């Protein structure tokens, strides 16, 4: 059956559930006695299992089933959470994650989970020998003995629902409905049956699953478990009253037959090899009661319906990212037209037209805000996997580390979010691995045993800052410089002249950071250049603040968005270029006489200091403009961090919102150009990357 249309939904929801599993497990670890958390975990695991089984990912379903067994014992107070149980459960979640990843990548979600399954079973067995008489134990023990095709019988959640209903005096019915073969819209008939039943009770499980039935993916009959107050005969009559229904059998089940059924179906599936095709399980159960054999058949086809807590009503909808991109692109087109219209209106000088265009400008400004907001995602989507990662890492390193996350609700453009994960993982690993000292060292240094890593995100101006700060050993600039000189990366004189900040920047130099000497001495090392490169490519920046002995802070500065920016348009001869407004300090005019040549470099006095003057016309070899022939030159002062550079241009055209487009895959990276944009007149203008001129 074709499940492709559900696949993306399955992947999304699985990821959500895995995330919630991870979070809840972390919560439970901090608070092992809180059984309400166990309930949450159980529900997530259960939903995941149902979805996986429906989609036919059996390994996924069977592993979650084993987790459920353990969790069930915990929530019934039959098992106390202990470290090794946590570890095993965490391992299971990891395995689930990798399976879902595999599915995302187009795989089958198959994985060898036998080791984890065995240890989960061991946990279940080890803790329940005394309770062997109880119904729950029966089920769990049975489950443990029948690990690999777990989804082949009523899972014990559904089982216990049925059992409980019986205890509370409800009727549990097994209903088999056959629709007439000449029925045209069988799905509709089936829907009517369900509708009718739901009015006077609850359908616990159906085969095929409700989704399949809605898709008409069934023959002419279906069966279901049903809890109600009414009699079997009454229900039978009710259903038969619907047109085009052929036959209905409703069998009332009692405690005994229910339990027997549970065992029978277990026996049936246990006899069948783990990979046995579904029908083989059915005959094995045929000596049981009719209901049980039907049950065996039903269950062996493995399609548990979604049970458990209904999803809470949500005010959000999922939208395919591609649609958002399309929306963004369409909006960019509109923006270009708007600029064009504004141009035309100012030429035509018609009052009504100008007014309309201005109004359109305001509306499209609002529209732009909303479109941009749609693409904003809270950094939490990246941050949420970090607590778990830090926990594992600290454990493996035998350190105690608290990760304190603040500002997880801070929003960033999706494109930035997608890219920022890996660099942050890197920085966090560094912080835990190299920053925070071992317990002994910390105690010796008079610090608390547990190290603290702060992960902060906050807005500031047009940027978002993400800081990773630990209270570890800090970085000693002298040691970096020493190693750099030893490595021949810089000379002794250069080293002497370097400020602490410049020394820290050396850590980001390619090749430098991977040098063993450095990582031994400074304790920092792996691939910081990669981190830096990635963040720079996003238009961001990394700064290090460190106090030796007290700790280090890696501060990552990121632009809010990547796709629409405010820019200054300038003219160079016949060509137009855009300079991002965010990096412009000011614009001005200088006389030739103010330009001095120092060491062959043209410098300019600017607010009490000398800054280099860069000739864009030379760098871009512009054919029809050369500023050195002019008496006065327009300049744009741009900055990168603390450094300033003046770019010589011919004319300022004005300030504009521009839509950033890339130059296409074919063009190699052009130095000094970060992209292109389309102007109001349809021409392409290149966007200058001011960082390229500042070394």
Interface region with another protein, contact rule CB under 8 A, candidates 76-84, 167-175, 392-400, 674-682: 674-682
* Lookup: tokens for 426: 């890197």
Chain positions 300 to 339 lying near another protein, rule: CB under 8 A, are 329, 332-333, 336
Regarding beta strands 401-406 and 451-460, do their DSSP bridges make them parallel or antiparallel, or are they unpaired?
parallel
- Could you identify the residue written with the tokens 């130095």? 671
Give the H/E segment covering residue 213: helix 210-214
d(C-alpha 396, C-alpha 516), whole Å: 22
Contact call for residue 188 and another protein (CB under 8 A): no
- Strand ranges across the sheet with 564-572: 651-659, 564-572, 575-580, 684-688, 673-678
Q: Taking contact as CB under 8 A, which single stretch among the options 99-107, 189-197, 415-423, 665-673 is the one that binds another protein?
A: 665-673
Least separation in angstroms between residue 614's CB and another protein is 14
Touching another protein, residues 538-577 (CB under 8 A): 575
Which residues are annotated as catalytic? 46, 68, 430
Give CA–CA dist 689/537, Å, rounded: 11
Give the interface segment with another protein, choosing from 118-126, 161-169, 245-253, 680-688 (CB under 8 A). 680-688
Beta-carbon contacts of residue 265 (< 8 Å; ≥ 6 apart) = 152, 153, 154, 285, 292, 295, 296, 299, 300
- Among 676, 689, 690, 693, interactor with another protein by CB under 8 A: 676
From 241, 195, 197, select the one nearest 214 (Cα to Cα).
195
When asked if residue 31 is in the footprint of another protein (CB under 8 A), the reply is: no
**Closest CB to another protein among 665 and 695?**
665
Cβ distance to another protein smaller for residue 90 or 620: 620
| Residue 434: CB atoms within 10 Å | 19
Q: Which stretch binds another protein (CB under 8 A): 152-160, 201-209, 303-311, 670-678?
A: 670-678
Binding-site member from 71, 208, 678, 693 for another protein (CB under 8 A): 678
d(CA 667, CA 300): 57
Q: Does 444 bind another protein (CB under 8 A)?
A: no
List the one residue from 504, 650, 685, 690 that touches another protein (CB under 8 A): 685
Decide whether 419 or 575 has the Cβ nearer to another protein. 575
User: Does 620 sit near another protein (CB under 8 A)?
Assistant: yes
Total of residues contacting another protein (CB under 8 A): 28
Interface pick for another protein out of 1, 493, 664, 695 (rule CB under 8 A): 664
Site string for another protein, 642-661 (x = CB under 8 A): -------------------x
Question: 601 vs 671, which CB is nearer to another protein?
Answer: 671
695 binds another protein (CB under 8 A): no
Cα-to-chain-centroid distance, residue 120: 28
Cα separation of the two ends of the chain: 59
Q: Give the separation between CA 152 and CA 268, rounded to whole angstroms.
A: 9
Please give the Cα distance from 107 to 101 (Å, whole number).
8
Helices in 431-538 by DSSP H: which ranges?
439-444, 477-487, 492-497, 500-506, 516-521, 528-537
- The residue among 336 and 521 lying less far from another protein, judged by its C-beta, is 336
Q: How many CB atoms lie within 10 A of CB 588?
A: 13
Determine the 3-state secondary structure of 129 from DSSP. helix
Q: Which CB sits closer to another protein, 135 or 619?
A: 619
Q: Which of 251, 663, 680, 694 binds another protein (CB under 8 A)?
A: 663
Work out whether 670 is an interface residue with another protein (CB under 8 A).
yes
Give me the least distance between CB of 685 and another protein, in Å please.
7
**Three-class HEC string of 521-561:** HCCCCCCHHHHHHHHHHCCCEEEEEEECCCEEEEEEEEECC
Angstrom CA distances, 427 to 269, 381, 443, stand at 50, 17, 24
665 is a contact residue toward another protein (CB under 8 A): yes
Binder of another protein out of 349, 609, 621, 629 (CB under 8 A) = 621
Residue 12 CB neighbour total at 10 angstroms: 12
**Piece of the chain touching another protein by CB under 8 A; list 64-72, 238-246, 556-564, 620-628:** 620-628
Residues contributing to the site for another protein (CB under 8 A): 329, 332-333, 336, 575, 619-622, 661-668, 670-673, 676, 678, 682-686
């Amino acid at each position: 059956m074709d499940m492709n249309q559900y696949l993306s939904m399955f992947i999304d929801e699985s990821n959500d559930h895995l995330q919630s599993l991870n979070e809840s497990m972390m919560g439970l670890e901090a608070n092992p006695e809180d059984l309400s958390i166990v309930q949450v975990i159980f529900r997530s695991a259960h939903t995941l299992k149902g979805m996986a089984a429906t989609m036919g990912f059996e390994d996924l379903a069977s592993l979650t089933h084993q987790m459920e067994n353990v969790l069930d014992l915990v929530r019934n107070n039959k098992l106390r959470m202990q470290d090794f149980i946590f570890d095993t459960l965490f391992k299971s979640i990891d395995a689930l994650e990798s399976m879902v990843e595999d599915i995302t990548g187009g795989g089958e979600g198959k994985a060898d989970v036998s080791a984890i399954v065995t240890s989960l079973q061991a946990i279940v067995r080890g803790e329940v020998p005394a309770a062997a008489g109880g119904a729950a134990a029966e089920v769990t023990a049975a489950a443990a003995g029948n690990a690999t095709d777990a989804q082949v019988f009523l899972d014990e959640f559904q089982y216990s629902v049925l059992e409980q209903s019986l205890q509370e005096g409800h009727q549990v019915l097994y209903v088999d409905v056959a629709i007439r073969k000449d029925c045209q819209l069988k799905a509709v008939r089936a829907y009517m049956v369900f509708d009718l039943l739901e009015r006077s009770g609850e359908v616990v499980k159906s085969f095929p699953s409700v989704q399949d039935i809605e898709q008409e993916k069934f023959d002419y009959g279906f069966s279901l478990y049903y809890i109600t107050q009414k009699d079997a005969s009454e229900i039978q009559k009710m259903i038969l009253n619907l047109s085009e229904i052929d036959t209905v059998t409703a069998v009332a089940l009692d405690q005994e037959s229910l339990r027997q059924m549970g065992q029978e179906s277990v026996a049936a599936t246990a006899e069948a090899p783990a990979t046995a095709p579904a029908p083989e399980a059915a005959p094995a159960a045929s000596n049981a009661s009719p209901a049980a054999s039907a049950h065996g058949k039903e269950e062996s086809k493995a399609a548990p319906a979604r049970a458990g807590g209904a999803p809470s009503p949500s005010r959000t909808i999922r939208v395919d990212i591609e649609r958002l991109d399309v929306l963004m692109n369409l909006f960019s087109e509109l923006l270009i037209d708007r600029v064009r219209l504004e141009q035309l209106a100012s030429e035509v000088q018609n009052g009504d037209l100008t007014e309309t265009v201005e109004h359109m400008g305001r509306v499209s400004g609002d529209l732009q805000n909303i479109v941009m907001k749609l693409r904003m995602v809270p950094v939490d989507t990246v941050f949420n996997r970090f607590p778990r990662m830090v926990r594992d890492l600290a454990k493996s390193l035998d350190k105690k580390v608290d990760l304190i996350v603040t500002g997880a609700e801070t929003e960033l453009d999706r494109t930035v979010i997608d890219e920022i994960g890996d660099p942050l993982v890197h920085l966090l690993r560094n912080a835990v691995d190299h920053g925070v000292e071992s317990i002994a060292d910390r105690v010796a240094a008079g610090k608390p045993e547990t190290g603290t890593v702060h992960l902060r995100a906050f807005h500031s101006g047009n940027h978002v800052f993400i800081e990773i700060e630990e209270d570890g050993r800090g970085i000693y600039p002298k040691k970096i410089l020493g190693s750099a000189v030893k490595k021949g990366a810089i000379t002794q004189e250069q080293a002497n002249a370097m400020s602490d900040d410049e020394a820290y920047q050396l850590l980001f130099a390619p090749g430098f950071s991977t040098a063993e000497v450095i990582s031994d001495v400074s304790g920092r090392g792996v691939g910081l250049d990669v981190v830096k490169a990635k963040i720079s490519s996003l238009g961001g920046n990394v700064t290090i603040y460190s106090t030796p002995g007290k700790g280090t802070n890696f501060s990552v500065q990121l632009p809010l968005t990547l796709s629409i920016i405010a820019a200054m348009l300038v003219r160079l001869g016949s060509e137009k270029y855009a300079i991002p407004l965010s990096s412009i300090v000011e614009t001005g005019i200088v006389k030739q006489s103010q330009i001095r040549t120092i060491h062959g470099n043209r410098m300019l006095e600017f607010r009490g200091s000398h800054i280099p003057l860069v000739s864009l016309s030379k760098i871009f070899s512009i054919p029809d403009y050369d500023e050195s022939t002019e008496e006065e030159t327009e300049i744009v002062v741009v900055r990168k961090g603390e450094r300033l550079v003046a770019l010589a241009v011919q004319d300022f055209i004005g300030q504009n919102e521009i839509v950033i487009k890339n130059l296409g895959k074919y063009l190699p990276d052009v130095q000094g150009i970060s992209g292109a944009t389309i102007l109001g007149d349809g021409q392409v203008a290149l966007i200058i990357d001011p960082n390229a001129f500042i070394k």
